[in-house]
Structure 1
Amino acid sequence: MTDPHEERRGWAAARKAVPSHLRFTSLRLRLVVVFGLVALTAAVSASGIAYWLNREAVLTRTQDAVLHDFQQEMQNRASALPGHPTQDELQHTASQMAGSSQRFSVLLIAQDEHGKTVVGNSDLGTFTLQDVPESLRKAVDKQQHVSSSDKDAYHLYWQRIVQHGKPYLVGGTKVIGGGPTGYMLKSLEPEAKDLNSLAWSLGIATGLALIGSALLAQAAATTVLKPVHRLGIAARRLGEGRLDTRLRVSGTDELADLSRTFNRAAESLEKKVADMSAREEASRRFVADMSHELRTPLTAITAVTEVLEEELDAETGGIDPMIEPAVRLVVSETRRLNDLVENLMEVTRFDAGTARLVLDDVDIADQITACIDARAWLDAVELDAERGIMARLDPRRLDVILANLIGNALKHGGSPVRVRIREEGEDLLIEVQDHGPGIPEDVLPHVFDRFYKASASRPRSEGSGLGLSIALENAHIHGGEITAANASGGGAVFTLRLPRDASPLIAEETRDGNGTEENAR
């Protein structure tokens, strides 16, 4: 099971690992944004509809009440005026009409007995005929056609206007049957203030809805993404080789099914890796045991073949010429079998991690010369190296590397084989180049594979197919590398790169070993 504290640390590390310009495209942020947009759209739509409905209701209610009172006042008071009233009569009637419950301004227009237009105003100088829109005046003065469905020649008309930034309601009509024309002006500023308060309230409600949706989105993202983050951390641990990683499973939803699937996959992977490791360990143990078991009989066989070889080389010749080829074949194959067993034992040491360096100060040119001389290759190898190039390496393992590279060049390439030493910073480069046909391109990626032989492109080799692989492992244990390529002028080139001093590797192995022992204690 995973530790919750480790999960939090892993999630924090994962967040730090994500570049800042990519965090804004995270699923968590997308959920919050989507929730916010949906909530904002819904809140704005609901607020807009609510504001529009309330606005129409407030204005319609006020408008209907004012127009109804104005119409009643026109019927009760303006219709009682004489046919040609005086200005004082109009003024008095207008003041009475303005005193209704709705408190609006009144303007009455008529003609006196001399045909002169007279005006009565409840608010002198405040409400004039210029305040009435021309379109409204024309509609009020227009006489309608009287029919059975419409028995009035004049109707009441109204209009909303804005003057000096303030809203007003303007209405007008004529007294039916003859009489003055009346207009009213009602301020809608109180209703506008109420509607502004309503708009602010709806805006605040929209903001609160947006904040609530963000919090809800955060909670939903945490609920949904937390198992996903746990799954990511567990997958990363699984990729790091911690095959015992499992997820806690709770619930029956899709995320729980995903966690169960991950646990089953991890369990199956752990089992398969354990089986493969067991088989690999058994194979290594078999090879090591077989190699050790073969050494005893091989020692005896080698002693016998040495005696036979001496007899073959003796001048008196104690071997029957008829069996001489068979004896030489036995001697050759015994040597080959002995080399194979030694190579297998060396491979098992690398696989088991028991191979260790024994360092010494080495003159590289002298080491190469000793390797060539010990194998009687002096006539076939050209050495291009200055004396005095020193390095702290394992002489025995360096000799194994050189012997395999030079021997491979002599066997599969063409003599003379050129060995050149170069210094490059803190590294040494040793190039081994032959004069053969080179390595086919399809073979190059596999030259260091174990037991690989390019039989289709080269003659049958007596080697085991382990030499280059062992050379590469010995380079790796020094912290170096070997690469293979074809020279531009023909022939294959193997380049060995080694550090001048492998002591830090020994110190690192010692620290790792101490840490492992301390943890074990």
Structure 2
Amino acid sequence: MATGARRALTFWRRSIQARVVISTLLLSATVVGVVGWLLLQQTRDGLLDQRVDTVVAEAVNETEDARTRLQSTPFNDVDAAQQQRALVEPIIARGAGRDFAVVLAGPSGSGVLREGGATYTPGLDRTSVPDSLVEHFSEVAEPAWTYTRIRREGPDGARVAEPGVVVGSQVTLPADGRTYTLYLLFPLSGEERTLDLVSRALLTAGSLLLVLVAGVAWLVTRQVVTPVRLAREVAERLAAGRLRERLVVKGEDDLARLATSFNQMATNLQRQIRQLEELSRVQRRFVSDVSHELRTPLTTVRMAGDVLHDAREDFDPVSARAAELLQVELDRFETLLVDLLEISRFDAGAAVLDLDDVNLSDVAHRIVDSTMPLASQRGVHLLVRAPQDRPCLAEADVRRVERILRNLVTNAIDHAAPEVPGGRAEVVVHVAGDQHSAAVAVRDHGVGLAPGESAMVFNRFWRADPARARTSGGTGLGLAIALEDTHLHGGWLQAWGRPGEGAQFRLTLPRRVGEPLRRSPITLIPDDAEEPV
């Protein structure tokens, strides 16, 4: 059930044609329903008003006829009971032929309708006369009518009920001079059948109209959506690298012009992508060639520099200092050359992993031990926080993981000195793991990162503060290489920072290379970070 709901939701999100057709169908159903309801209400009101006018007029005629007959009867010769029968029996007889029922109750104020003293059409349930109308005629009153449910005994003896109209009027018997109430009950079964027929006709017509609207909406949207869907498919093939794909142009309408513009855009993109690929290839080849060609003269200069550095004690102070600076810069130049060669291997896709099960806790301790002299020189305290009861294992290339952590730790040492009073010159290396991933986070409390710099910090040769000295001899490629090493493992390398609150870099690796990462066991925003105001 859940799978079907997800598929339906996915289909709804991805299919504009389905959304247009269903939305049009729902709106049309709403309009048809409202219009049909209004038509039914007007038809019902018209039928009832016409029926009420007819039955009221008929009831008036019956009442006037009854009064005429009463006035023509010599009341000295009959008693009241005989006069009641003479009054109501002809009306009951006519009602049997003209489909209405009769109840004669009275005299007024006696309540005989409920007590069984009324004369009425055989088989009729006297409760068909509503209490409100009975209460109205408890005293002498004007004629009145109301809607009711006429309950009677059917031909097969079963009790049936149908809607109806009851009209009441009063007559006075000459025999006793008292007022009696004459109720005429007219059924509305004919009008009910007419309304049912009209309802079925409207429902059938509405259903057919909705089917036609859905079909028209589907055909119209198909004419628009099909070219868009073809354009999407071609765009996906272009994104997959098949740059020769183009749309078929048919006609001269807006969609045809859109296809023409799309093809022109694809041609321009193809040309520019090829130019960029060629430029990138030339650039990578240039960096690789220059890096390799520089190794031979660098080796010669290194040998000469080593000779000068070893003999610096025989030089004057200025020459000795120059020999020392030459050695330092040669070290930096050699490191830069090694980084450039590594970058060129990444660009060429020649970098490979030498996989093994690596305990990130051991790697973190080795890196901290190796960088302790630099941290002591900078006055920075290094601390490792790793679980003691279990290892944090990940399938990785230990050489590349060590290089990533070394870059992160030395970078944190460079920026760990706080620029606010009372800050901590401390770098903490957190290690954690779960069933699916292992992570290392390097936290410092130094200058931090400005908004937007967390994404730029991994760019090649990018520096947050170009005027800041590189005390650890960085080349500007360390974090870029670390990011490439992380991507080679299928992991994440992310940064967080706030000005004055320091920064945290988090490395997350899957337990097995190739497995997708869904979460990290260490949060990117450290727990000791203050909430933004």
TM-score, L = length of structure 1: 0.56
Measured after TM superposition, the shift of residue 394 of structure 1 is 0.2
Q: Does 1:44 align with 2:49?
A: no
Separation of aligned partners in 2, 1:330 and 1:347:
25
2:291 pairs, out of 289, 292, 295, with: 295
1:439 pairs, out of 436, 445, 448, with: 448
Q: Does 1:207 align with 2:200?
A: yes
What's the CA shift string for 1:333-385, capped at 9, x where partnerless? 66656545554554465567664322024465765677678889578485758
Kept after mapping to 2: 8 A contact 1:288/1:344: no
Q: Does 1:397 align with 2:400?
A: yes
SS in 1 for 2:431: strand
**Partner amino acid, structure 2, of 1:207:** R
Matches within 5 A, 1:406-425: 406-413=409-416, 420=429, 422-425=431-434
**Partner amino acid, structure 2, of 1:478:** H
Measured after TM superposition, the shift of residue 298 of structure 1 is 1.0
Measured after TM superposition, the shift of residue 453 of structure 1 is 1.0
Measured after TM superposition, the shift of residue 133 of structure 1 is 12
**Partner amino acid, structure 1, of 2:212:** A
What's the CA shift string for 1:30-61, capped at 9, x where partnerless? 4312221122212432454356457757987x
Q: Name the residue aligned to 2:483.
A: 472
Q: Name the residue aligned to 2:464.
A: 454
Measured after TM superposition, the shift of residue 399 of structure 1 is 2.8
Matches within 5 A, 1:243-254: none
Separation of aligned partners in 1, 2:234 and 2:407:
35
Kept after mapping to 2: 8 A contact 1:486/1:493: yes
Separation of aligned partners in 1, 2:389 and 2:302:
37
Structure 1 residues 110 and 263, CA, compared in 2 at 3 Å: closer, same or farther? same
Structure 1 residues 268 and 122, CA, compared in 2 at 3 Å: closer, same or farther? farther
Matches within 5 A, 1:135-284: 192=186, 196-224=189-217, 231=225, 238=232, 242=236, 274=270, 277-278=273-274, 280-284=276-280
Separation of aligned partners in 2, 1:410 and 1:110:
126
Kept after mapping to 1: 8 A contact 2:448/2:499: no
Structure 1 residues 128 and 270, CA, compared in 2 at 3 Å: closer, same or farther? same
Separation of aligned partners in 1, 2:232 and 2:485:
31
**Partner amino acid, structure 2, of 1:109:** Q
Measured after TM superposition, the shift of residue 200 of structure 1 is 1.3
Separation of aligned partners in 2, 1:349 and 1:323:
39
Q: Name the residue aligned to 1:152.
A: none
Measured after TM superposition, the shift of residue 488 of structure 1 is 13
Separation of aligned partners in 2, 1:418 and 1:401:
16
Separation of aligned partners in 2, 1:250 and 1:220:
27
Measured after TM superposition, the shift of residue 401 of structure 1 is 0.7
SS in 2 for 1:474: helix
Measured after TM superposition, the shift of residue 329 of structure 1 is 7.1
2:88 pairs, out of 117, 126, 142, with: 126
What's the CA shift string for 1:478-505, capped at 9, x where partnerless? 3443444569997655443444x43455
Separation of aligned partners in 2, 1:391 and 1:53:
88
**Partner amino acid, structure 2, of 1:477:** L
What's the CA shift string for 1:5-28, capped at 9, x where partnerless? xxxx9878424999xxx9xx9564
Q: Please, which runs of 5 or more residues in structure 2 have no aligned partner? A: 1-5, 92-102, 108-141, 151-164, 172-181, 240-245, 418-423, 517-533
What's the CA shift string for 1:164-203, capped at 9, x where partnerless? 968679999xxxxxxxxxxxxx9988xx56x632441233
Structure 1 residues 296 and 375, CA, compared in 2 at 3 Å: closer, same or farther? farther
Q: Name the residue aligned to 2:162.
A: none
Kept after mapping to 1: 8 A contact 2:462/2:476: yes
Q: Tell me whether 440-449 or 489-498 shows the greater mean CA deviation.
A: 489-498
Measured after TM superposition, the shift of residue 468 of structure 1 is 1.2
Structure 1 residues 482 and 221, CA, compared in 2 at 3 Å: closer, same or farther? same
Separation of aligned partners in 1, 2:434 and 2:31:
57
Measured after TM superposition, the shift of residue 107 of structure 1 is 1.0
Kept after mapping to 2: 8 A contact 1:167/1:187: yes
**Partner amino acid, structure 2, of 1:438:** V
Structure 1 residues 124 and 441, CA, compared in 2 at 3 Å: closer, same or farther? same
**Partner amino acid, structure 1, of 2:457:** V
Structure 1 residues 54 and 486, CA, compared in 2 at 3 Å: closer, same or farther? closer
What's the CA shift string for 1:277-333, capped at 9, x where partnerless? 445534432331121221332122212221221232232789999888888777766
Structure 1 residues 26 and 340, CA, compared in 2 at 3 Å: closer, same or farther? farther
Structure 1 residues 297 and 494, CA, compared in 2 at 3 Å: closer, same or farther? same
Separation of aligned partners in 1, 2:433 and 2:463:
32
